[in-house]
Structure 1
Amino acid sequence: MEFSLLGPISVATGSGELALGPAKRRSVLALLLLQPNTTVPLEQLIDSLWEDEPPEHARTVVQGHVSRLRATLAEGGADAYGIELTTHGSAYLLRLPEELIDAHRFGELVALARPEAAPADAVPLLREALGLWRGPALTGTVTSPPFAAAAHALEERKLTAVEALARAHGALGEHEQAAAILYSAAVAHPLREGLIAALMRALFRTGRQSDALEWFHRTRRLLNEELGVDPGERLSGAYEEILRAEAADGRRSAAGSGARGQGRTGADPRAAAGRVPAQGGAVPAGKPGAEAATAAGGTRETSGRTGAAPRLLPRPPARFLGRGNQLASLTDALSDRTTGESPLAVVAGPAGVGKTACAVQWAHLHAADFPDGQLFADLRGFGEGDEAPPAEILRDFLLALGTPPERVPGSAQAASALFRSLVADRRLLVVLDNARGSAQVRPLLPGGPHCATVVTSRSRLDGLVATDCARPVGLQALGHEEGAALLGAMLGPERVAEDPAAARELVALCDGLPLALRAAAAQLTARPRWRLARLAAALRDERRRLALLSAEDSGIAAALRMSVARLSADDARLLSALATSADGHLNASVAAALAGYDPERTQDGLDRLAEMHLVDEEATDVYTISTLTQLFARDESGEAEPGSGAGGGD
């Protein structure tokens, strides 16, 4: 006879599982199994079974459940296993060998495993322990706080075992296995910082640096959005450890190159490796150039090919298609060396149009042109939390470039000066994603003529164009052919080819936005029997469209919400008024009439909405608002019909 707590509550015998009855009876058994060979007071059982005030006949109900459990166990042959359920006054005792309880066997196996001292022995022990789990702990019990707490405690023990198994694999050099084990647990527990930190280290040791850093930034955003806190010491420590390791690898590579060069030229190996003695102390504010680098104890760079070569780009975007003109425009803008300045391009467009994907795709295509490294940062300009302060991003950059943590300046001004001096002679690419405004970007710009910077934003960032000669690269929605090609890449060309008319309709219903099209493809991937026409029919219902165009943690509604959240109250009201337009086409006079604003106030508001790509100015005094933006603005203003935002079913 075996008792299971690590999944659905059950009792297994040689002839099958015993019929335990309703949830409260299973809950009585679970509570007795959680405290085996110990008397459990009747009052504790009552308090655990009823979350609210228990009924007057609660004692009778519990006594009835205990009586039925006793009979069920006896029918299953409990006596042969030394199992007895007895009454002791107003308490109950379940006497049994504890090894018959899966949670007890799990604990013993975990205790025997020594992942660091004896990893080869620990792996089979921990795998056997985790193999006892058949689902969420205490499944089938009532949903009261005592059972929730007990289930949580068991789940914590499981996660501890998962982390121990990953450490054992890591000690054996099996980092791929460690990453695979940690990945599933991290997806299920995205706010468990120690787990994410372990996953980051495992990914880094498999050579997947960009994936490791992506997990950090994803978790940092979740912590900020869900809990309003910053990463703790374990998560931040793993992040800085990875950045320092990358920098050290770069320095070792450079030193090796220098040593080989010395063999040919007789040069001083220290100079060839770009190393000079450290000078202690922090960078004084306003101390620019190489002088600032020396003051911070950094490396005085004399060649763009010396020092660390960080590779912080996210992985290339999956199924990236098209955008040939925009990629060519970026190449033209960032390859221009005629001015002697560090070239700068701004990729701007509406929410969901694929700005980040375009910038990252270009960066990967041209990474070889920047052998001294590629830096990437999410500036969080359009997120639920606060935007990233320049000092935070500069700290990450300086750590990646090999600056010891204790010598990173505390002020953004000093850190910016040190950053510019370190990269002055390097061939370095900087990608600044999701910027809110020009002021957030300027301290992060490198000054060296061999560096290049790509910024993405939903705003046009006219300030960077005016003061820093940024080259704008606009991104528009995909046309019918490009949108259908993206669907084909996501779903398989055969599925799209069988109904090209429906594919074109889907592109139109998604306003040609890649984010919306990818969400639509996710819906169809999850429903392989659906034809494209069936999803198109569902999307025609404007009350359901935004909900259907969402996929777990991403969706067009969430993206638009972040844009609208950055508007002033006046501009948000203007957008809501524009959403009532019948066809989405209007001029300033019509907009003023809809909003009840005077012409000057309306024109200023339209200009700001156009700068944020919430409306498009197609020609002088001709504005359009996309259908998805209209639907979102109507929902936000409370004008949607009941049922808006409800998720679609099968």
Structure 2
Amino acid sequence: MAPQNAEATVGSLLRRYRLAAGLSQQELAAGAAVSVRTIRDIEHERVDAPRAPSLRRLAEALGLAAFDRDRLLAALPGPRPEPDAGRPLRVEVLGPLSVRTGPAAVDLGPAPQRDLLALLALQPGRVVSRDEIVDVLWGDQPPKTCLSMVQTYVGRLRGRLDPDREPRSPGKVIRLAGDGYAIDLDTDELDLAQFQELVERGTAEPDPAAAVDLLDRALRCWRGPVLAGASPRLRSHPAAVAAARRRVRAALAYADLAADLGLHEAAVARLQELAPDEPLHEGVAAKLMVALSGSGERAAALSLFAEVSRRLADELGVEPSAELRDTHLRILRQEQVVRRADPRPRQLPAAVPGFTGRATQLERLDALLPSARTGPGTAVVISAIDGTAGVGKTALAVHWAHRVADRFPDGQLYVNLRGFDPAGPVPPDEAVRGFLDALHVPAQRMPVGLDAQAALYRSLLAGRRMLVVLDNARDADQVRPLLPGSPGCLVIVTSRDQLAGLVAAEGAHPVPLDLLDPDEAVRLLARRLGADRVAAEPEALAELVRACAGLPLALVIVAARAATRPGLSLAALAAELGQARGGLDAFSGADPATDVRAVFSWSYRSLSEPAARLFRLLGLHPGPDLATAAAASLAGVPPAQVRPLLAELARARLLAEQAPERYAFHDLLRAYAAELAARANPPQERQAALHRLLDHYLHTAYAADERLNPHRDQITRTPAQPGVTVDGVGDQRQALAWFAAEHATLLAVVEHTATAGCDSHTWQLAWALTTYLDRQGHWHDWAGVQDLALTAARRLGHRPDEADAHRGLARAYARVGRFVDAHVNYWRALDVFGEIGDWLGEANTHRNLAFMCGSQGHQRDALYHASKALDLYRAGGHRVGEANALNNVGWYHAQNGEYREALEHCEQALALLREIDHRPGVAATLDSIGYAHHHLGNQREAVASFGRALEMFRVAGDRSHEAGTLTRLGDAHHAAGDRERARRAWRQALVLLEELDQPEADEVRGKLAGLPPPA
């Protein structure tokens, strides 16, 4: 039997697909060439091994259906089907067009017939309309018999590609579909498909060495420019341009990985193959310069810069880009040329001021350096510093790390694992992702799952000399995924746990840390208070040291108290301390707890009453740190009143100001503050303070989301309580900065609301975080938050919120490539929206499904869902939704090559959008209309539509859409034969795309490179 969860998923998805397509079981069985019984068994989750081949054929037949075909096939028993060995066909378009059956070359006939095959092969599996074929083969002057000629060409090609087929039987390679034709080729039959598969595998591969090999194999599929020697119309077709762009991206990715692995000569070989085809691509030139320099050919690298600079000036009239100039400057200075703007992370916290003592421990740490310094050994060097809370583990680790940082030229990584934080420890996957971010791994290359992320992290550190500080670990299991895998790096781990497992299994060197001895404690106070003051009262000094029990945290607080009251004698301070004795249960061993609590309470009792109340309430905060506005909300006072109270706490060393207006506790002090709050503040007051804090985060996040996504449908929020401060986020930049600063805290707050039963806040906070987490690539966090939101909505019994949480979880799953799970949640959302009669929710869900299907290349499925959304918006009288959905339907018609249907829908959308004065929608629809006209050969109408859209985007300041419209405007000018206007539009688009750092810039560079030099 297939796995139970796979069966359920297969059955559910198959039912959804069949119903969505409007097919009966008989129709689906006939189309997939399987039995009706097989269909029924699958839908009822009765799938056994003997019928697995039928199910496999069904999955193949539904290859363009709206679910993850590869994952479906992977769940089936038995081996994957092998390609049909009876048809040794090979079609190659990555270079001059070439077709072979076995060892023999196939004569493809006249040039138009060859171009027809090439056009289909550029878009395997996609139906290419007759109109598009005619446009590519003959342009604006097709012969009157063009359609019959196309039929003739298809018939001849079928005979030559399928010589063994029966007379007058349908072709096995080229099939008729709708109003056009499609070619069906396996991966091993088409070099373009093989290239794409290898690139996808290489991009997802966490091991750099394996990724380099896969990308190298992908690049070897190319024999020259795509369809070299074919007609200009074919070589400028969007599919051909897209293939060339993918080649450039693969080459750049290969060059980066090869440089990291020191494979400079290999990078030179691959880039020199590409450079003649991309003579104006500055990214290719920069990577080739890096590879040449790394190979010892510095003169050749400098010569290449001069040549490319001249070419850019002569042909485009532009200066070299900043990347190219920076690479040139580094080579001139004989610096190491690296591909990252800041390749060496410097994450150590600030050095500890006035560090004192610990000579023995520092010597033990120094003794570890020779094995790290002498290069490759047998293992990573790990130091495990353990000791009780407040004993100074972090201070020792950071102090020593700064002392030896110059021994690790590739950088330093640091993370506070918060192993004993009341809010819970940092999960290993979150810590690994933080390190990968610091190592400049882009979001789109971030692997899914802890194992893959840890493997990529180890690969990136291989061969480097880096210092890694893992602070405040809970146990060895939290640490292991963060350990490098090869020698040369040194790891410092601090923990209250002795980490015996790390010592035993990973060979860590234990460095136990105990309380300071009396002499060290005296030196610490002397460093902070001054030798004269300490020498004047030796007996009082001894009493202070005894009361602090040698705990560095307590000594630092005492020193801070004494420093802020220089007129008070040390004897008076010791007397005050002796009056407050208790016990902190968190301590064990020699039990210095009584005196430590006395130190804390002594400092606490010295506070003003408002500051003392704030200190207690801060103990309720669930996150790692907080800003002034959050503290103000906890206290229920304006920020102007809370700032002096926070400053008072910081002076007393009961709070640390980590950054301007951002504060954090030591976890011992947090526990003490929470303990005081439980005793001194009634439950109603604590609950009200927490409610204000949650309202602060909810309403500020909501306001920030409005800046990031102003056109988003809004929700009804829980009203803010009196005393809540909402941070001002005046523009998009401020909104992004706020989210970035509060990222970890917001995740902790959402988790706290989920465990505390604050379900309304849970799903509303999850909703407000959606735009930020999505756009910044924090998709794993997004999925986790949406999962909590779904649980909260179910507990509340709010069906609309449950459906919306399913939809949000589906969007997050789609981002991390879990397409099966995404579809399941989308359809569950549709179920609930349907049950409660929420047609708007259904419409929005269909819109999301359309986008995901379109992004997967399933354009027919995308069109279906966009049409469903349109029907729902119309039925509900939602005119804005109807207007935008009309444009979406038109766009997906265009993506399917149905340009006349696209125009019909977009013209309706345009009339409605103008009637309701929806200007962003008008601009987007004009762009769609221009796109359809361009592909229909109506270049004058296309230029006019693009021009009007361009004006509106510029007025609105929408630079991203402006760049896209400029690109398409250049296409229309080029198709009309106006090369200079095309050049001008593409240049303007390129400037915007480079400023926005968009990957489409490569495509535009390719278009410019394909133009002849200006007259």
TM-score of the aligned structures, taking structure 1 as reference length: 0.41
TM-score of the aligned structures, taking structure 2 as reference length: 0.27
Q: State the structure with more CA Rg.
A: 2
> Larger % of helix: which?
2
